[in-house]
C-alpha cells in the first residue's frame, strides 16, 4: 500500500463484445491498492489483481508501456516515470453518472520538443532499418505537454464527447490521473474467448457526407494502409497463438473503417479460445505491449523505439482496463490518452511507419490525431437557424437532417421527436408573420428553440472583402454549424451600412460570408458557388439551389472576383440577396 493524496476512484465506459452490455460504471471506496514499482513486482501484482477479481471484486487500473521487460527481458524501454502497474480494488460498482462533472478546467498551449527536421530524420532512420531487414514497421510516437488547471474529471468528460463510443477510462490514483478516451480495444477476455482489435490506418473525415464516404472508401482501398493493418493482424495472430487452443485463432472483420469525430480508423478483429489454465499474466506475456503500438517484429521494434524516442511513454501505449468479478478482463490500448500529474498534462501522438510512409503525410496524420485535444478545449453546441413564416418552418426537414448529421459526427445525443417537439413548442405564439428561429442542441442531446423578430432585408446588400485570409481552422467547425464561431466573429463587420464580410482562405480562394454562402455570376453567365473543399459551411439554401441547378460549384479566387458580373448572399433564412462589393 502507498499513501495517496486523494481516495482512488475511477470511471469506465467500455464497449463490450459478443452481445454483452457495455461497461458504464463508477468506482468509489477503494479498499486496497495493488502497485508494482519494479519489474520484479509486475507479475505478482497482476496475479494479486486476478485473485481479487476471482473472489468477487472489481479491479480497475493500468499497466505502463515500460512494464514490457517483465514479460520478455528482450524488450527495450526507457526508465518508467511512475508505477509500472496500478490497480484499485473495489467491492462494488455504481452506475455511470449521467450528470456532467462539475468544475472548470483549462490547458495551456500544447508543446512538442520534436521539430519537423528531427521528425523527418527519425522517419529516414526507420526507412533505413526497414531496407536493412531489421524491421517491417515501427510505431513512432512523441509526447505533447501542457500545463493544466481545474477539475480532471470535467476535462475527461469533455474529451470523451470528442471521442465517443470507445474504451474510455478515468482513473485517479490519488497521485496522478489517467484520462483515456481510446478507440482501440487491446483485448476482451471472458476466461475462455479472447478478442483483440488492432487499429492501424488513418484518414481525416470529409467535408460533407459524400466526401466523408469517399475518405472512408479511400482508406479501405489504400494498399499502404491495408498492408500496415495486415502486418499488425498477423503479429496479433501469432501472439494469440501462444495462449490459444489449436486451430482456434481466427480473423473476423478484416479491414473495417470506423468513424470518429476527427478521423477514420481501420480496424480488424482477431479472436481465439485460450487454453485451459491460462491466467492474466499469460495473456499479458503473450500480447503486451500491443503490436499496434510497437511494430514488426516486436522485440526489434521496441529497441528502435528506445533509440528514436527520448522519453518514456508511460500509460500511453500500455494498457488500461477492468478485471470483472468472477474472472475475465477487458483492456484498451491507451491512445488518445492524457496523463496528469502535479499540474502537468502529457499526451502521446504517433503513427505506424512503413517503407511507403512519407514525412509530410505522417506529419499531417499526427496533426489530425491531436485534434481531439483542441476540440475538447471549449464545449460547444450545434446550431440551426431557420425561418418560421406563416406557421411553417422553411426548409425545416433539410435543417433537421443537417443537425442530425452533425450530431452523429460529433457523437451528440439525438432524439428526433424531442427536437421536433422543441420547434413545435414555438408555433402557438408565432403562428403569424416571419420569425428567425435559433435551434440549439447540446452534447447530451437536449434541444432548445428560440424565436426572434425578423424583418425583410433591403437589397442590394453592401459587402466588403476581408482584409486578410481566415487562419487555419479545425475543419469540423467550418463544415458544421456550432457555437464555436470565434473564427467568424473576428471578421464580422463593424462599419455602418456593411451587411457582411466576404472571406477567403490562405490559398487565395474565396469561401463564404460570416453568416451565409456566396453565389457569383461568371463572365460566361453561370452562377457558381465555392466548393466545400475551400473551407465553408454547406448551407441549406446553398444545397437547395445546387440541387435545382441554379448554381454549380467552382473554385473562385480573390484575383478573379472583380471579373464576376454579379454577386449574391444566399442562405435559407434570408434567401437570395443581390450583393454589392464595396471597395
Measure CA of the first residue to CA of the last residue in the chain; give whole Å: 73
Contact 263, 203 (CB under 8 A): yes
Assess whether 298 carries a catalytic annotation. Answer: no
Assess whether 250 carries a catalytic annotation. Answer: no
453 backbone dihedrals φ, ψ, rounded to 5°: -60, 145
Point out the catalytic residue in the list 50, 66, 200, 384.
200
Instruction: Give the number of residues written for the chain.
Output: 583
Report the alpha-carbon distance of residue 267 to residue 372 in Å, rounded: 19
Contact 153, 100 (CB under 8 A): no
Point out the catalytic residue in the list 162, 184, 309, 512.
184
CA distances from 578 to 384, 462, 536, 552 (A): 23, 9, 20, 17
Taken in order 240, 22, 170, 28, the sign of the CA dihedral is negative
Residue 328 CA, distance from chain mean position: 28
Report the alpha-carbon distance of residue 530 to residue 556 in Å, rounded: 6
> Per residue in 316-354, is it b (16+ CB within 10 Å) or e — as a string?
bbbbbbbbbbeebbbbbbbbbbbbbbeeebbbbbbbbbb
Q: Which long-range contacts (CB under 8 A, 24 or more apart) does 113-117 make?
A: 113/142, 113/310, 114/142, 116/359, 116/363
Report the alpha-carbon distance of residue 33 to residue 9 in Å, rounded: 11
Contact 183, 258 (CB under 8 A): yes
Three cell numbers written together for 521: 455570376
Instruction: State the Cα angle at 399 between 393 and 403, rounded to 5°.
Output: 135
- DSSP helix/strand/coil, 73: coil
Report the alpha-carbon distance of residue 413 to residue 411 in Å, rounded: 7
Taken in order 85, 90, 91, 96, the sign of the CA dihedral is negative
Per residue, what are the HEC states of 1-24? CCCCCCCCEEEEEECCCCCCCCEE
Catalytic residue numbers, as ranges: 184, 200
Amino acid at each position: 500500500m502507498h499513501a495517496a493524496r486523494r481516495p482512488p476512484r475511477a470511471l469506465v465506459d467500455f464497449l463490450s463484445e459478443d452481445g454483452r452490455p457495455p461497461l458504464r460504471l463508477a468506482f468509489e471506496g477503494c479498499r486496497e491498492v495493488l502497485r508494482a514499482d519494479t519489474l520484479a513486482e509486475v507479475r505478482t501484482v497482476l496475479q494479486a489483481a486476478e485473485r481479487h477479481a476471482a473472489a468477487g471484486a472489481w479491479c480497475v487500473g493500468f499497466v505502463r508501456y515500460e512494464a514490457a521487460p517483465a514479460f520478455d527481458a528482450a524488450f527495450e524501454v526507457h526508465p518508467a516515470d511512475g508505477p509500472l502497474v496500478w490497480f484499485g480494488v473495489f467491492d462494488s460498482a455504481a452506475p455511470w453518472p449521467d450528470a456532467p462533472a462539475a468544475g472548470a478546467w483549462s490547458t495551456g498551449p500544447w508543446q512538442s520538443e520534436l521539430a519537423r527536421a528531427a521528425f523527418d530524420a527519425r522517419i529516414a532512420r526507420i526507412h533505413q532499418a526497414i531496407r536493412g531487414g531489421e524491421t517491417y514497421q515501427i510505431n513512432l510516437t512523441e509526447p505533447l505537454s501542457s500545463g493544466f488547471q481545474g477539475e480532471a474529471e470535467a476535462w475527461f468528460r469533455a474529451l470523451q464527447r470528442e471521442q465517443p463510443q470507445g474504451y474510455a477510462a478515468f482513473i485517479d490514483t490519488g497521485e496522478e490521473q489517467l484520462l483515456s478516451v481510446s478507440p482501440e480495444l487491446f483485448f476482451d477476455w471472458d476466461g475462455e474467448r479472447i478478442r483483440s482489435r488492432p487499429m492501424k490506418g488513418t484518414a481525416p473525415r470529409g467535408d460533407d457526407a459524400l466526401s466523408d464516404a469517399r475518405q472512408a472508401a479511400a482508406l479501405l482501398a489504400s494498399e499502404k494502409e491495408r498492408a500496415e493493418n495486415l502486418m499488425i493482424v498477423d503479429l496479433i495472430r501469432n501472439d494469440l497463438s501462444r495462449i490459444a487452443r489449436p486451430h482456434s485463432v481466427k480473423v473476423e472483420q478484416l479491414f473495417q473503417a470506423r468513424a470518429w469525430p476527427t478521423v477514420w480508423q481501420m480496424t480488424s478483429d482477431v479472436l481465439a479460445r485460450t487454453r485451459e489454465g491460462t491466467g492474466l499474466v499469460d495473456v499479458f506475456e503473450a500480447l503486451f505491449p500491443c503490436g499496434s503500438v510497437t511494430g514488426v517484429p516486436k522485440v526489434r521494434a521496441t529497441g528502435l523505439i528506445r533509440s528514436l524516442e527520448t522519453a518514456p511513454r508511460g500509460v500511453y501505449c500500455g494498457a488500461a482496463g477492468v478485471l470483472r468479478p468472477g474472472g475475465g478482463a477487458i483492456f484498451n490500448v491507451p491512445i488518445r490518452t492524457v496523463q496528469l500529474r502535479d499540474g502537468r498534462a502529457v499526451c502521446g501522438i504517433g503513427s505506424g511507419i512503413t517503407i511507403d510512409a512519407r514525412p509530410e503525410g505522417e506529419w499531417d496524420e499526427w496533426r489530425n490525431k491531436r485534434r481531439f485535444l483542441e476540440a475538447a478545449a471549449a464545449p460547444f453546441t450545434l446550431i440551426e437557424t431557420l425561418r418560421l413564416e406563416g406557421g411553417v418552418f422553411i426548409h425545416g426537414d433539410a435543417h433537421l437532417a443537417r443537425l442530425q448529421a452533425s450530431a452523429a459526427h460529433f457523437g451528440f445525443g439525438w432524439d428526433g421527436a424531442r427536437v421536433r417537439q422543441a420547434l413545435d413548442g414555438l408555433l402557438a405564439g408565432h403562428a403569424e408573420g416571419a420569425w428567425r428561429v435559433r435551434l440549439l442542441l447540446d452534447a447530451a442531446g437536449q434541444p432548445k428553440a428560440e424565436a426572434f423578430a425578423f424583418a425583410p432585408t433591403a437589397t442590394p446588400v453592401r459587402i466588403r472583402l476581408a482584409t486578410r485570409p481566415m487562419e487555419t481552422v479545425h475543419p469540423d467547425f467550418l463544415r458544421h454549424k456550432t457555437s464555436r464561431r470565434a473564427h467568424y466573429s473576428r471578421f464580422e463587420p463593424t462599419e455602418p451600412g456593411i451587411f457582411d464580410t466576404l472571406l477567403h482562405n490562405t490559398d487565395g480562394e474565396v469561401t463564404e460570408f460570416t453568416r451565409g454562402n456566396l453565389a457569383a455570376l461568371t463572365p460566361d453567365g453561370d452562377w457558381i458557388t465555392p466548393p466545400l473543399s475551400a473551407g465553408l459551411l454547406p448551407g441549406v439554401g446553398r444545397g437547395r439551389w445546387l440541387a435545382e441547378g441554379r448554381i454549380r460549384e467552382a473554385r473562385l479566387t480573390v484575383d478573379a472576383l472583380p471579373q464576376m458580373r454579379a454577386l449574391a448572399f444566399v442562405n435559407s433564412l434570408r434567401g437570395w440577396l443581390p450583393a454589392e462589393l464595396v471597395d
